Amino acid sequence: MQTAYTVVSKRDLAPAVKEFVVTAPVLAKKARAGQFVILRISEDGERIPLTIADADAAAGTITLVVQEVGKTTIEMGRLNEGEAILDLIGPLGTPSHVEKLGTVCMIGGGIGIAPIYPIAKAMRDAGNRVISIIGARSKELLFWEDKMRAVSDRLCVTTDDGTYGVKGFVSDELRRLLDEGITISSVTAIGPVPMMRAVVETTRSRKVPTVVSLNPIMVDGTGMCGGCRVTVGGETKFTCVDGPEFDGHLVDFAELVQRQAYYRDMEQDAAERCRLAQQNPDAGPRKPASSAG
């Protein structure tokens, strides 16, 4: 019998950002910070990776946070409570390295706030002093501030436009912390590539170990397709099995940016077609996977 990955809870976190709590008992028990799943909504749908933002082993659920930027994420945003995801595999990827280091800094930018949360939580549980920095372009795009505050000894909030918290980028706030003389043993940054790159350049000269979580194009999640390859320390790595976390000081960001742009035109075209189909009453109803199992 097929497992039903039923949406038991759905809520809006920010414009075009939604939180889904999904029934996945085995995944919930095995998931560790830093890991992800690959899902498919329907028989003719594409496979997309999403970080496991939280897991509740007792309830048998995992939490996924989705930003509607492409065809499949837009379609997933239309799922309602009680409907189900057709396929969901995981946990995939190498878990975050968690140990007691002293003071660590967890940085989440934009949608990166969701995947940084379980790592911050794990680091706090391991006995570290956790300083977290979360940021977004504006106040309306921020989410999970309360959750991040609950797992942090100190939480700093930034917005690009200054509508909330400190005006500026998360990398600016990190620089201020370091200028205060705070000894930070390790930094983990997750978010848009330019943000992670800025964080890496901030810590490079200060020789602060910095981990970034990469999100290149990914298909099978097993290292076979090669679509998610990145260059780290001059060597080819596969994000799905060797990552998704890597030493930020060794990542070839220029190549990463170039590879992420390969299919941008096709991705934008598919997303626009999806949006137009939603507005077209003659397009017919979407056919979600059955939650009957």
Q: Which two tokens stand for residue 287?
A: 């056919």
Residue 228: the pLDDT is: 85
Domain extents for the chain? 5-92, 96-213, 214-279
Q: Do 288 and 83 meet the contact criterion of CB atoms below 8 Å apart? A: yes
| 243 contacts: CB under 8 Å, gap ≥ 6 | 93, 94, 213, 214, 228, 230, 237
CATH superfamily ID and name for 5-92: Translation factors (2.40.30.10)
Q: What is the DSSP code (8-state) at residue 164? A: S
pLDDT at 292: 38
pLDDT of the residue at 290: 44
CATH number of 96-213: 3.40.50.80
pLDDT value for 207 = 95
Low-confidence ranges of the chain (pLDDT < 70): 1-3, 261-272, 274-276, 278-279, 281-293
Determine the Cα–Cα distance for residues 146 and 162; give it in Å rounded to an integer. Answer: 19
| pLDDT of res. 264 | 65
